[in-house]
Amino acid sequence: MATDFSAAIETRSAQGIAAAISRMVTAGEIAIGDKLPTVRALAKELDVSPTTVNEAWRALAAAGVIEPKGRNGTHVRAAPTPGATQRYRKVTEGPGHFQLDLSTGTPDPALLPDLGPILTKVPRSDLTSSYLDEPVLPALREQLLATWPFEPGALTVVDGAMDALDRVTREVVRLGDRVIVEHPTFPPIIDLLEQLGAEVIGVDVDDQGLNVDQFAAAMTLNPAMALIQPRAHNPTGNALSPRRARTLAKLVANTKCIVVEDDHCADVASSPLVSLGKWLPEQVVHVRSFSKSHGPDLRLAAIGGSCDVVDSVCAHRLIGPGWSSRILQSMLGALLTSPTSIKQVANARETYEYRRTLFSSSLEEHGVTVGGRDGINTWVPVADENSAVVALAAQGIGVAPGAPFQVRSDRSYLRVTSGLLTTDTQINEVALAVASSAVAPSWGARRR
């Protein structure tokens, strides 16, 4: 580029550089698609530290102004159009409305605990005495610590699992950082990392967790973060084994990598929780969501682990929302201790396990074998996912295509929220319909 950045950028701080480049893009002085100088080249031209330029690049990437393309450099990104399709949007995009929508990944409302009796136990107005009160109610904090998989250096509560992942990721990941994720994984995770300008490294998962050889290779690239789902993996339903967790922990030890664990199904997961925090408490941030188990509209998830990360999340929240509703926290605390609610959640866990097991067995009877044993979703191999989605939609069944979940395009899959199937007859009928649309080899579990 012939652009003279030294003349256009008057303030040589990260904020000043980002603002000046943003203005240049808006004014058309830098065109959409133009390749920007490297961090080192611009730092030399401006006589500033590469760290300063890197911070500016991160801010511009987060704002959607620029787009890192690995070895091809960093380019000016076209402004997103309203409603632009991202991975997460593609999950629920389909031919229309369905008689039976199994594309959502949401819990069965009939299996959520009854909130009626709980509402009467919530105080009216005495939960917040100051805007600087601790972000977690003391009683709820004690309940969370009593069941946390390791002793966390710090703990807080935020507005759901994705809010937790978003806040933690923004504290850890900088523009150009490498981040390990499972392949496949939850689409918003990839959307978030791409927005931040991170380089996403997909590592295959099997019925024990992340593939060891691929994870070891990824760790040689000095990733800033590894984001994993320890159980009820979305979309495959796999769970991390103790042996695999110990091996992964050894590979992460003595590095700067932060491991973020997304326990999104938590109390309705049928597999035991295995956390790398058992071995690496200072490098692990564990996220526990209560949306699937106690209700999506509670909008609550707990974050506990590395002091540096969790304390930073809390500090930044002080200049935003400050805390998550203490009324909702009080409700959650009551739900976690109510004998009736505990039985309802246990029933939900057993019901989801039964539905998933029967659905998988029925698919196998029709020639389709699936992996995974936990959670509310089933990952089904198909010959062509687009054709399968349309074929099922013609029968009034909505499912999610597999492509948005994949870091790299390997094969075609469907994600079916089998936890929403309510009767044996319905389970068997849907399994037949899905199997008929599949006509593909089995997705086998690979062990190590």
Give the pLDDT confidence of 25-42 residue by residue, as tens digits: 878 888 888 899 999 999
Amino acid making up residue 150: F
Structure tokens given for 424: 């044996």
DSSP assignment letter at 405? G
Binning pLDDT at 50, 70 and 90, where does residue 247 land? very high
Q: Would the pLDDT of 197 be above 80?
A: no
SS3 content of the chain, % helix, strand, coil (to 5): 45, 15, 40
DSSP assignment letter at 186? -
Q: What average pLDDT does this structure show over 336-358?
A: 97
Alpha-helical (H) ranges within 103-160 are 116-119, 138-147
Rounded CA separation 308/294 (Å): 29
| Predicted pLDDT at 22 | 81
The answer to whether 236 and 205 are in contact (CB under 8 A) is yes
Q: Would the pLDDT of 443 be above 60?
A: no
Q: In what order do the strands lie in the sheet with 199-206?
A: 154-158, 301-305, 284-289, 258-263, 225-228, 178-183, 199-206, 209-210
Rounded CA separation 220/233 (Å): 25
Q: Would the pLDDT of 132 be above 90?
A: no
Counting residues of the chain whose pLDDT is more than 90, the rounded percentage is 69
Contacts with 128 (C-beta within 8 Å, 6 or more apart), sequence order: 326
Binning pLDDT at 50, 70 and 90, where does residue 91 land? low
Q: Which domains does the chain have, with CATH numbers?
A: 5-76 (1.10.10.10), 91-110+341-438 (3.90.1150.10), 128-337 (3.40.640.10)
Structure tokens given for 117: 């009796």
In terms of average pLDDT, the best of 320-324, 389-393, 413-417 is 413-417
The DSSP line for 45-113 is: HHTS-HHHHHHHHHHHHHTTSEEE-GGG-EEEPPPPPTT---HHHHHH--SS--SEE--S-PPPGGGSP
Rounded CA separation 106/297 (Å): 11
Rounded CA separation 284/297 (Å): 27
Q: Would the pLDDT of 235 be above 70?
A: yes
Q: What is the mean pLDDT of the chain?
A: 90
